[in-house]
Structure 1
Amino acid sequence: MRMDVLTLFPEMFEGVFSSSILGKAREKGIVSLNAVNFREYAGNKHGTVDDTPYGGGGGMVLKPEPIFHAVEDLLAPRAEEADKAEGGFSRAPRIILMCPQGETFTQRKAEELAGEEHLIFICGHYEGYDERIREHLVTDELSIGDYVLTGGELPAMVIIDSIARLLPGVLGNEMSAVTDSFSTGLLEYPHYTRPVEFRGWKVPDILLSGHHANVADWRRKEALRRTWRRRPDLLVTLDLTPQDEKWLKEFQEQAEEEN
């Protein structure tokens, strides 16, 4: 996969793209990560990428020209290759606007985007974007939550990390991504490791039993319990088994007894 980020602060991505899991994935050639300064596409000697909004109001608005030109420059080599290749590319790139007004990013969205070949992220840093960027260039608008940051760089880093870890070969254990919170529709079950006892707190006996079926049942039950306690909204759309229903009834009865 190729991921390009349009930003006024490419230096913010240097450490993120070179460290930890992302750095290793980049070294292996699993993912190409590039930060592009779209000020280079301003088209004037002052490198102006923003201007005051028509109609008045506070703040500055990102101009359409630098963003469009930067994206078109990124796509130019791809278009040339497609012309030469028989049948061209299977999919056009997704162009993603980082915006607090956008769709809230979820694990499901990460899984969807992980199936793409090329992603381009646009990071703003002022009052907003010229609406023509939103209407005529981007394919997606994403937000990481109902709050506002100084720019789109940090949200882009979060989303890129979330997507990249789903790509084959990025994680050492491929099952890690499969059993993550939200991947199954539930929050993840509790984890334990050595020592068996620490300050009087013991690992649940069932995890030491070696009985894989019982361990799997325990993990499902505890994932369900944790989701019921912390994110009951997730259970609304979950396809529950008859056993899940019994466990939920058990949790409810226990809660009523405690109260």
Structure 2
Amino acid sequence: MRQLQEAGPDCSFRFRDGTALSDLKRQKLSFENLVKTAPVSQEDVDWADIILGNVPAGFLHGGEKLKWLQAESAGVEAYIRPGALAPGAVLTNGTGAYGLAISEHMLALTLAVLKKLELYRDNQRLERWESLGGVRSIYKSTVLVLGMGDIGGAFGKQCKALGAKVIGVRRTNTARPDYADEVHLIGSLDRLLPQADIVVVTPHISGFYHLRETHTRVVNLFAENLSRFLNGDPLKNQVDTAIGYRKTVA
């Protein structure tokens, strides 16, 4: 958390629900208003000008004091409902922090299914040593990726490197990335599904925030955005609250 103090030396901080308070004590950081970690409260939210993290959406009532909410997740649907944020309040998300960790997890599970590893695991527990038939490969498979953002893009690259044909589906008509053989809009989904050997739907993710690498990326993003906010510069990952997706990449 030293990064946050350096990014906002004149700011007061409160840490809630998951902050490693013991580490902060060992580093002897002189945070004003540092309190023991506990579940975030309504009073905490009302106190803040800036929030890092996914606070309960029910605590947000369009208060004028909150100027900026930096979500740790990519998905921010809970915060774009009418009345959650005041007009003019900035909402940014955690896009870019999860691509590697989540896509590798997705790839591992895809391979496990193709190779029937979960079935062999269950048989091993039952001491059954028998063949479960043929298995499949990503190589020369057609992989349909629904969602071509940070996570879907990383997964598509990995599948392409393993010899797959990668077809992407996205919301907007933008340039085809190098790793994709084809890119289509969501309206083509019914036509594309019969062509696919593997179908992956990319999620909005926050559940991997506890991983050290992902946590570091989120904190790095917040520290950079905090400096930008205090200097009056455009923020990274600003969300269009009308649709719930990132609208700028500064």
Structure 1-normalised TM-score?
0.28
Point out the structure with the larger helix share.
1
Larger-gyration structure (1/2): 1
Structure 2-normalised TM-score?
0.29
